[in-house]
């Protein structure tokens, strides 16, 4: 039986939060970018233990009540977990079928010396949208583009800024991206509604970004070749049967999105169609992955299954291309899913005990408008990127903190999910000690503070979402009936 409980004070709520922040700072110093492999998850569990101790011994809650809160919190994220599994499967079959390589191939064709910065940003946007990963994009195509740009006479900070701006466009907008799935899960909306709504701020931000890179690009005298990029294109076209017919699959998925088909059937259809197109257009890849023993049907079954559940890699003569043509299937999503579950344990206790509500109320006590609420949310995301050094927590914690606040203000959850991405996802790479900032600086060999001023997309995104909030542009409100549900 639940006894008498006490309403938490801000100090009570700050105890587990401070513990979480301190442990995460230590964690990133010890494990670096390997933190997401398990140590960050353990930190969240330990922080949940601290939150539970505060809730039980200071606030009077019993464990059964807190456990119910954990179960409800995890249950709320189950649809997103299912979607993440399907995204892993889709990424695998889209690589196997040549869909992702075709996107990369055609994206590289727009590269020309005269508009290099524009093209570098655009190509990285195409690749990251296709793969759903800014890290993969920067580590592969980005590294190649950096070398080409330096050969053409551009400063490395500007090149890195263009690469990262494009890479984080896809990380923010691609349905294959884990952060693109994480934000709507935290806010309480669905994936495709989130993407459609986020396009309202992301599209003008990207247009401004590309325009700035065109202006900068034309102030440089460029000379040289793009032989490295041509070599990548040539290897991809030799390894895969590149044809426009492959784009039928993403078009079908896009049509389903436009028709507002739920994410699960749309992604499942995309993954299965990817497997079918692999059998039709890439028999040579099927043989490589499925092995040469048995009939082609058995080889195809094995290859498609492997692509959906586990890691596959297509080996070429080029190391850069080899790193690009790798996918980990459903298994590759397990660390993210593990992180979500652990975060939901922490968030469930904080929410059930009322500590999240107290923190949110303290932060929004002086918030009186939609604009100031969105600005406060954005500032909270940036704060967590700086203090916790983790992109995911900059989405997870503010998402849990503000979900009820937005609903009480009559704002649909897509307002919150968009703000989480506009301010949480993209600013992580601007912080030198954040996992994203540290990783990209290491991969590109360019200091975070050197490229940060040129990451126009990442800088403009939070400003754009705050601008939309204050001027009430593209704000979705509940009907009275909807808000009562």
334-354 residue pLDDT tens:
887 887 788 788 888 988 898
pLDDT of residue 3: 63
Average pLDDT, the chain: 86
DSSP reduced 3-state for 210: helix
367 with 409: CB under 8 angstroms? Answer: no
pLDDT at 222: 58
What tokens were used for 350? 């904080």
If you count them, how many residues does the chain have? 485
Residues 149 and 100: their CA atoms lie apart, in Å, by 24
Secondary structure tally for the chain: helices H, strands E: 26, 2
**Dist CA 188 CA 402 (whole Å):** 11
**CB-based contact 187:154 (threshold 8 Å):** no
Is the pLDDT reported for residue 147 higher than 80? no
pLDDT given at position 480: 66
d(CA 320, CA 300): 27
Measured between alpha carbons, how far is 167 from 420 in angstroms, rounded to an integer?
18
User: Contact at 8 Å (CB) between 192 and 125?
Assistant: no
Long-range contacts of 18-24 (CB under 8 A, 24+ apart): 19/46, 19/47, 19/50, 20/44, 20/47, 20/50, 20/346, 20/388, 20/393, 21/387, 21/388, 23/47, 24/388, 24/389, 24/390, 24/393
Q: What integer is the mean pLDDT of 372-394?
A: 85
- Please say whether the beta carbons of 274 and 256 come within 8 A: no
Q: Facing residues of 477 across strands?
A: 411
pLDDT score recorded for residue 431: 86
**Band (256; pLDDT cuts 50, 70, 90):** confident
Of the listed ranges 64-68, 108-112, 186-190, 473-477, the least confidently predicted one is 108-112
Residue 175 has pLDDT above 70, yes or no: yes
Q: What is the pLDDT of residue 478?
A: 83
Reported confidence tier of residue 309, pLDDT bands at 50, 70, 90: very high
- Round to whole Å and give the CA distance between 367 and 374: 9
Q: What local confidence, expressed as pLDDT, does residue 159 receive?
A: 93
Which range has the top average pLDDT, 107-121, 266-280, 440-454?
A: 266-280
The residues, ordered by sequence, that sit 6+ positions from 249 with a Cβ below 8 Å of its Cβ are 94, 97, 99, 270, 273, 274, 277
Phi and psi at 3, nearest 5°, equal -85, -160
Whole-structure pTM value: 0.71
The pLDDT value given to residue 283: 94
> What's the pLDDT score for residue 33?
60
What is the C-alpha separation between 228 and 206, in angstroms, rounded?
Answer: 26
> Which pLDDT belongs to residue 281?
96
Q: How does DSSP classify residue 53?
A: H
């Amino acid at each position: 039986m639940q006894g008498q409980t006490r309403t938490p004070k801000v100090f009570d709520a700050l105890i587990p939060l401070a513990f979480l922040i301190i442990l995460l700072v230590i964690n990133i110093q010890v494990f670096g970018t390997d933190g997401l492999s398990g140590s960050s998850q353990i930190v969240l569990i330990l922080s949940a233990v601290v939150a539970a101790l505060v809730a039980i011994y200071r606030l009077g809650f019993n464990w059964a009540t807190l456990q119910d809160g954990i179960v409800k919190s995890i249950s709320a994220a189950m649809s997103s977990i299912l979607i993440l599994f399907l995204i892993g499967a889709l990424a695998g079959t889209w690589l196997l079928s040549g869909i992702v390589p075709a996107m990369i191939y055609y994206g590289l064709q727009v590269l020309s010396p005269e508009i290099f910065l524009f093209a570098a940003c655009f190509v990285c946007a195409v690749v990251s949208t296709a793969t759903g990963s800014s890290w993969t994009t920067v580590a592969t195509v980005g590294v190649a583009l950096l070398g080409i740009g330096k050969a053409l006479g551009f400063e490395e900070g500007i090149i890195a800024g263009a690469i990262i701006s494009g890479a984080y466009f896809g990380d923010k907008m691609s349905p294959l991206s884990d952060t693109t799935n994480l934000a709507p899960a935290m806010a309480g909306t669905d994936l495709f509604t989130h993407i459609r709504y986020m396009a309202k701020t992301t599209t003008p931000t990207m247009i401004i970004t590309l325009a700035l890179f065109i202006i900068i690009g034309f102030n440089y005298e460029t000379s040289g070749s793009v032989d490295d990029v041509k070599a990548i294109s040539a290897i991809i076209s030799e390894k895969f049967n590149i044809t426009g017919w492959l784009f039928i699959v993403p078009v079908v998925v896009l049509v389903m999105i436009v028709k507002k088909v739920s994410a699960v059937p749309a992604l499942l259809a995309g993954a299965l169609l990817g497997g079918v197109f692999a059998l039709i257009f890439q028999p040579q890849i099927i043989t490589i992955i499925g092995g040469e023993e048995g009939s082609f049907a058995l080889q195809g079954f094995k290859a498609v299954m492997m692509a959906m559940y586990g890691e596959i890699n297509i080996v070429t003569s080029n190391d850069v291309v080899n790193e690009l043509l790798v996918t980990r299937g459903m298994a590759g999503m397990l660390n993210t899913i593990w992180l979500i579950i652990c975060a939901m344990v922490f968030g469930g206790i904080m929410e059930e005990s009322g500590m999240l509500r107290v923190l949110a109320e303290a932060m929004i006590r002086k918030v009186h408008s939609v604009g100031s609420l969105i600005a406060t949310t954005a500032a909270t995301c940036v704060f967590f990127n700086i203090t916790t050094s983790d992109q995911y927590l900059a989405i997870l914690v503010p998402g849990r903190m503000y979900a009820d606040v937005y609903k009480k203000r009559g704002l649909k959850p897509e307002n919150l999910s968009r703000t989480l991405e506009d301010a949480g996802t993209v600013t992580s790479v601007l912080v030198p000690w954040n996992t994203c900032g540290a990783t990209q600086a290491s991969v590109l060999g360019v200091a975070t503070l050197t490229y940060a001023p040129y990451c126009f997309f990442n800088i403009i995104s939070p400003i754009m979402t705050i601008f939309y909030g204050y001027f009430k542009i593209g704000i979705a409100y509940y009907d009275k009936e909807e808000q009562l549900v």
